[in-house]
Amino acid sequence: MRSPSFFVPAVAVGFLSLALAADARADWPLEPTATPSVVATSCSKLDPRCQRGPFVVTKTEKIGADFDFDTGWLPKDAAVQVRLLAYLHGRTRVDLGGTVDATWPDPLRLTPKGTAATGLLAIDDGFVVKAQARFTVKVAGKTYSWTGDIPGVPKVDLATVATTAFDPFAFAGSGLPPIKTSGKTKPLELYKLDITDSIIPIPGIGGGFQLEGEAEFAADYQTLRVAFDELVSKGSVPDVTATNPFTKLALASSPGVDTTMNVHGQLGQQTTLHFVPGFFFEILGSKFSVDLVDIPVALPRSEKAWDFDPVAFRFPLPRIEARPSPIELGNIPVGKETSVLVTVFDTGEAALSADADDPTKVAVVTTKHLDVAAGTTESLRATITPTAPGPIETAIVVQSNDPFSPKLTIKIRAQAGDGAAPPAETETAAAGGCGCRFGDRADRSSLALGALAALLLLRRRRG
C-alpha cells in the first residue's frame, strides 16, 4: 500500500557535509571549496579595461540535535555479528558560483555574474534507526552466509535527500519563482488492525484497517542582494539586485582596488506530513473498501536570512606616469627634425595599454601605441620639424586604460630658430636622457681651421 508521508518533528534547518553512517547518505553532493579571497585577472586580451575575479560561496547549516551513530559490526572479526545504526539529520546547503567583473571608466563598475549550473540547493532530512545482523558459518563442511535487518526489531526509515541545481543568483524580484527542492521519505506503516466479528459484531465479517504515513521536506532559496564594502561604505555603494545589475566604486589613483562582497539571501522551509488510511472488509463474499486518500498536514513554514561568508577581491589596475612632463626643448632649428623621447611608466599591477598622438599635428608621434607590462617602462617617440622661426607650444595626448587618468597630456614648448647655425639633431630624453644638442660637423671643422690660422698669425707676430 503506497502513500505519502509521516515524520518525526526533526524538521531541517541546516546541514553540514560530513561522513555519514554506513549506507546512509551516499547521494549527498560533495561540498565545493569556498574562495575567501580572490585576485582578479584580465577578462581578455581584447578588453584592457576589465578585470575578472571568479568566486564560490557555500553555506551549510544543521539542526542542533543532528547526529550520526553507527556501532559497526560487533564483535569484531566474529562469525556472527550485529550492528546498530541511527541518525537524525536536519541539513540544508546552498552553493553559488560566478565572477565579479571590474570595468572602467565609470569610474569603476562592479558586475557580479552567476556561472550557469553552479548553484545548488540541497536538503538532507529525517530519522533512521535500524538493526542488522550477519554471519558466516560452516555446517557439515558447507558455508552459510547472511546479512540483513534483524527480523522482528522495529525499523524506522523516515529520511530523504533532495537537490536542485540552478543558475545563480536567483534574485528576488526577477519575476522568477524561488529555487525549490523537495523530497519524500519512504512510506511507513503506522498502524494495522485485522477486523473480525470480535471487533465489529457482524457474523462472518473480515477485513482490515491500516494507516501509512510519509514526510515531505521542502526548501526554497532566493538571493536578496549582493553588497560591496557594506561595513565601511555605510550605504554609499548601492547593492546589486534583480533591478540593479551592477554597482560603482569611487576611485583614487592606485595600483589596485580592494573590495569585499557579501551575498545575502533568504531560505524558506516547509515540512508536510501525509497520512493515508486504508479500510476494507468482506461480508458473505461481498467486498467493500475505502479509496486511498492522501491527508496532508502542513507544519508551519519558516523563513530565515541566508547570508554567505564574505569574499575579498583585489582588482589590479594599470597606472600611467610619463617623464619628462612638460617637455622643454629650448631653441631648435628651423626646417630640421628634432627628436622627442618620453618614458612611459606603468606603476600599477595590471598591463597598461596606451595610444598617443598630437591633435594639432605639430609633433609627429612615431610610437602610436604602447603596451606596458605592470612595473615596467616603454619609450614614446615623436619628432618636431619647425617651418618658421617662433615659439612652439603643442602637446602629446596619451589615451590609456588607466581608470584614474585615462587621458594624459604632455605639453611641449620650444623656440624655433635662435640666430645660430641650425643643429643637425636635437633629442630630449627622459629617465637619464641628457637632452644634449650637437652642431653640424662642417661648422665644427670651420671653427677648427679658423683657430689654427689665428695661432699661426700670433706665432709670426711673436717671431
For 25-47, the pLDDT digits (tens) are 668 899 999 999 999 999 998 99
Alpha-carbon Rg for the chain in angstroms: 42
CA distance 93 to 64: 15
**pLDDT for residue 373 is more than 80:** yes
Residue type, 343: T
Locate 305 and state its grid cell.
Answer: 536570512
- Residues whose CB falls within 8 Å of the CB of residue 111, separated by 6 or more in sequence, listed in order: 100, 101, 103, 240, 245, 246
For the residues 221-239, what does the mean pLDDT come to? 93
In order of 34, 252, 260, 364, the CA distances from 231 in angstroms are 21, 19, 9, 51
Model confidence at 360, pLDDT cuts 50, 70, 90, reads very high
**pLDDT for residue 208 is more than 70:** yes
**Predicted pLDDT of residue 458:** 37
Q: Judging by beta carbons within 10 Å of its beta carbon (0-12, 13-18, 19+), is residue 221 exposed, middle or buried?
A: buried
CA distance 225 to 305: 12
CA distance 70 to 19: 11
**pLDDT for residue 56 is more than 60:** yes
**Predicted pLDDT of residue 422:** 46
Number of helices (H), then strands (E), in the chain: 2, 29
Structural domains of the chain, ranges and CATH numbers in brackets: 37-316 (no CATH), 320-460 (2.60.40.10)
**pLDDT for residue 446 is more than 70:** no
Of 36-40, 284-288, 380-384, the poorest mean pLDDT is in 284-288
Do 383 and 338 meet the contact criterion of CB atoms below 8 Å apart?
Answer: yes
Q: What is the 3-state secondary structure (H, E, C) of 208-226?
A: EEEEEEEEEEEEEEEEEEE
In order of 180, 181, 183, 420, the CA distances from 217 in angstroms are 11, 8, 5, 96
Q: What percent of the chain has pLDDT over 70?
A: 84
Q: How many CB atoms lie within 10 A of CB 462?
A: 6
**pLDDT for residue 204 is more than 80:** yes
User: To the nearest whole number, what is the mean pLDDT of the chain?
Assistant: 86
**Predicted pLDDT of residue 6:** 31
Model confidence at 251, pLDDT cuts 50, 70, 90, reads confident
**Predicted pLDDT of residue 233:** 84
Q: What percent of the chain has pLDDT over 90?
A: 71
Q: DSSP class of residue 255?
A: S
For the residues 46-57, what does the mean pLDDT come to? 97
For the residues 290-319, what does the mean pLDDT come to? 94
**Predicted pLDDT of residue 453:** 43
Locate 157 and state its grid cell.
Answer: 526509515
Model confidence at 23, pLDDT cuts 50, 70, 90, reads very low
For 150-160, the pLDDT digits (tens) are 887 778 889 99
Locate 319 and state its grid cell.
Answer: 597606472
Q: How many CB atoms lie within 10 A of CB 148?
A: 8
CA distance 18 to 24: 11
**Predicted pLDDT of residue 300:** 96
Of 345 and 251, more confident = 345
Among 355, 405, 370, which residue's Cα sits nearest to residue 255? 405
For the residues 442-454, what does the mean pLDDT come to? 40
**pLDDT for residue 8 is more than 80:** no
**Predicted pLDDT of residue 462:** 42
CA atoms within 13 A on the CB side of 428: 20
Please state whether 183 falls in left (phi above 0), alpha (psi between -120 and 50) or beta.
beta
The residue assigned the cell 496532508 is 296
Phi, psi of 293 (to 5 degrees): -130, 130
Model confidence at 412, pLDDT cuts 50, 70, 90, reads very high
**Predicted pLDDT of residue 276:** 92
Model confidence at 185, pLDDT cuts 50, 70, 90, reads very high
Do 36 and 244 meet the contact criterion of CB atoms below 8 Å apart?
Answer: no
Among 343, 342, 329, which residue's Cα sits nearest to residue 394? 329
- Reported residue count of the chain is 463
For the residues 179-190, what does the mean pLDDT come to? 94
**pLDDT for residue 178 is more than 90:** yes
CA distance 61 to 229: 25
Give DSSP secondary structure letters for 151-165.
TTS--EEEEEEEEEE
Model confidence at 320, pLDDT cuts 50, 70, 90, reads very high
**Predicted pLDDT of residue 426:** 40
**β 206-228/256-283 pair status:** antiparallel
For the residues 378-392, what does the mean pLDDT come to? 97
Of 135 and 461, more confident = 135
**pLDDT for residue 121 is more than 70:** yes
In order of 7, 35, 152, 154, 208, the CA distances from 1 in angstroms are 18, 48, 20, 19, 13
Predicted TM-score of the model (pTM): 0.77
Do 83 and 72 meet the contact criterion of CB atoms below 8 Å apart?
Answer: yes
Locate 248 and state its grid cell.
Answer: 560603482
